[in-house]
Structure 1
Amino acid sequence: MKNLIFIMLAIFLTISSCSERRKTNELDSDEFKTKAERIEILKNAIISQSEFENAEFELFNVNGFSNSRLTVPGSSSLDYKFVIKIETEDIYKWTKEMNKVQSKDLKFDWTKEITEKRKNQWTTQSSPEFYNRGNENLVMIVYRPEGIIYKRVINE
């Protein structure tokens, strides 16, 4: 009888924890109210080249994120879209291993999507610089005078 109660309790806890963990393979900055929360979440999800003072993001990782993963990770598939506000003197840390490119083939409508909720915090007046890294599916858009960097990484 004790084993049956234990098994039923385990099943109940498993089911209830699954319902609380909706979309554990997605992180969206719209779900976090403060800059501090958004910064902390993003810092835990990416490899950061410097400190940043604001962040917006839409992150998808088929394997979930380290704090929500319940199983052993499988093959990687991810789509990370984020924007950060950094000190302008730290921009070189983000661009040093990148190639400056022309924007003609780049699509960047996703930049408006991730900043829509707080777009007043992401206004720019300067012309953007565009970067990528070799054959990787990675693009970075830099507004140097404003210290704003948009970055998207896709791994399929």
Structure 2
Amino acid sequence: MDFYRNLNEREKKLVILSLGLLGVLLISFLINSVSSDLRNVKRIHKSTESDYLYVLQKANIISANIESQNIKLSGVSIYEHISDNEKLKLLDQESIELRNINGRENLTFTISRLDLLTDVVNELSLFFNKNPYDIKIEKSINGSFQISINF
């Protein structure tokens, strides 16, 4: 403090002015640094958001593709499962129709004997990993039965 007391008026003003200028420069540097960081965060946010939207779009396309091909998460088609399963081989392969209605599977097929239906429903329930909530049975003209199961 002795240094400051020994200065002339003009020198005191120059010291105060230089300290003030140094303070202003420091504040402007801090503001510039914060605004630069904010710009970087915005840029990273936009990049991350666009990456997320791209992945989400691809996931929706894959999901729709899987649903349209009637492939379960195991990667096995219902038609392959029916042809490989001993209890389901008795189903008429040409009459099997799987539809996805409001996110629920509807399977329609023809069976010759109703006493086999319990085993068929059990096997299909294991495949879909769901219990059926609606089963409709209609007798056709040729004596077979048209079965519609909603999972």
TM-score (norm 1): 0.34
Structure with the greater alpha carbon radius of gyration: 2
Bigger relative contact order, structure 1 or 2 (CA pairs below 8 A, ≥6 apart)? 1
Query: Could you state the TM-score of these two structures normalised by the residue count of structure 2?
Result: 0.35
**Greater strand content:** 1
